[in-house]
Amino acid sequence: MSLLTILASVLVFGFVIFFHELGHFFTAKKSGIQVNEFSIGMGPALWKKVHKGTQYSVRLLPIGGFVSMEGEDGEEDAEPREGEAPAPPVPPQQKTGLPFGEVAIWKRMVVIAAGAVMNLILGYLVMLVLIGGDDAITSKTICEFSPNALCQQTGLAEGDTILAVNGRHCFVANDILYELQRSKNYTADFTVRRDGKVVELPGVQFDTVQQNGQTVMQVGFKVYTVKKTVWNVLREAGSWVVYYMRLVFMSLADVVTGHVSVNELSGPVGIVSVIGQAVRMGADQLLNLLALLTVNLGIFNLLPFPALDGGRLVLLGVEAVIRRPVPQKVEIAINALGMACLLGLIAFATFNDILRLLPGF
């Protein structure tokens, strides 16, 4: 593993986590919650400073970060157990906000969801940079076919704007390729706009070729590019974020339904390996990967699973319905079980990553 890969991985992970925690931090401050610490990195503190009731710190290990809010994990945060020495990063007289549990439920829900929202915003900003730097935007309108292309003979025509493939709306041109890769028997159903009308084209067939002993589908057509305008860039960046969001959901669904084996899951080691490949391919590929990773983190964190932000939102929703907090012991047990499952999944995925790196596997 090269030094450049390590540095790129630290920057990518650090950037994604920083934006996530910044969402929690900003909304907590605006909601009047006491934020005890905002930290970049984990482990021993290399630098720290208290400002306006919050300790800001940079820590040794560049593998994460956190926002520590007063009373976030229960009332015992503010009251240490008997025999424990309290060590608040901020002196009590300097605290300016309320404990987490003392603000309105809707505000707490906003704070919890804000981390994932910031990840999606980061993905949008990264795509703005990428698309703004391109010469043109790829459309979904067919401009020409390969000679004797089977897809033209079985339904598609020049000038067709592809709206959906196999019933799934295409937000960007990459959606077309992704759906065709998932098609069976090298056949797909298309919905296109032709001469101002929406036309259904069932059973469009595609040519195939043999490559390295495998049958590979030939797309057989090219699409127009679109001149860049401010509106087109803004819209295309949003479409790419939606594309990545759906990609995450579909990938999760593929694992749950068995369409993709759990052995294909990747952990931190696999992600670092992919980052290394992106570094070698150039800045554009690295930024594309950054956008995918930050959207992935945002969506994954909103899943209604214990120990994730989505699980905490569920507990807050229960609190809103029953009009009292979920018992602390129950919440701790649920989160502990969820964390154990997540750590087990990460360990399993990391084990798979290591096996892939070993010769013969």
Within 8 A by CB and 6+ apart from 359, the residues are none
Q: Are 144 and 224 in contact (CB under 8 A)?
A: no
77 compared with 245, residue with greater pLDDT: 245
Whether 28 shows a pLDDT value over 80: the answer reads: yes
Rounded Cα–Cα distance for residues 106 and 27 (Å): 12
- Residue 315 burial (CB count, 10 A): 18
Q: Are 52 and 59 in contact (CB under 8 A)?
A: no
Whether 360 shows a pLDDT value over 70: the answer reads: no
Rounded Cα–Cα distance for residues 115 and 24 (Å): 5
CA distances from 331 to 23, 67, 186, 204, 313 (A): 23, 19, 49, 52, 12
Banded model confidence at residue 32, pLDDT cuts 50, 70, 90: very high
In the beta sheet, which residues pair with residue 225?
Answer: 138
Banded model confidence at residue 192, pLDDT cuts 50, 70, 90: very high
Average pLDDT, the chain: 85
CA distances from 358 to 163, 320, 352 (A): 43, 50, 10
Residue 296's nearest CA partner among 234, 341, 237, 250 is 250
3-state secondary structure of 309: helix
Q: How many residues does the chain have?
A: 361
Within 8 A by CB and 6+ apart from 203, the residues are 154, 155, 187, 189
Rounded Cα–Cα distance for residues 137 and 134 (Å): 7
DSSP symbol at 81: P
Rounded Cα–Cα distance for residues 73 and 122 (Å): 27
Mean pLDDT confidence for 108-125 = 95
Banded model confidence at residue 83, pLDDT cuts 50, 70, 90: very low
